[in-house]
Amino acid sequence: MTGSKDHATPKTFVLVHGVFGGGWYWRRVSGVLQTKGHRVFSPTLTGLGERSHLLSKDINLDTHITDIVNVIKWEDLEDICLVAHSYGGVPASGAIEQIGSRVSSIVWVDAFKPEDGQKQADKTSFRQALLDSAEKGS
């Protein structure tokens, strides 16, 4: 059976968290994948989670897209399974435009998947909530 053979081949996963998380959000999933021999990268997006000290009014969707793209470029990752959860689907979609040739599969886990030209602000008030938090220093 070729299907079982494919599952034995180690894969590289890039896991993108939602708005109220960080790379640590994927800890249990990462552990399971790593014990099966896979490589796992779960970057925390700038201004969120343990990187919340970097939150500022200058952080935008392009910042989060760059966070994902840079992990893939600097780690020289190829044949990636890109996994996006919730808000993570928005910057993941943008990242695919830059690193699409390095992605072999995509998993959307209850993720926002914007249409061409659609902005996250069209779906939620996330950006305003971030700006309000930055102004308050929280």
Structure token pair of residue 64: 């989060």
- Say which amino acid occupies 125: S
Q: How far apart are CA 87 and CA 43, in angstroms?
A: 14
- Say which amino acid occupies 35: T
Q: How far apart are CA 128 and CA 57, in angstroms?
A: 10
| Candidate list 4, 86, 101, 133, residue with the active-site label | 86
- Report in angstroms the alpha-carbon separations of 47 from 7, 55, 60, 102: 36, 4, 10, 26
Active-site residue 86, yes or no?
yes
Q: Catalytic positions, please? A: 86
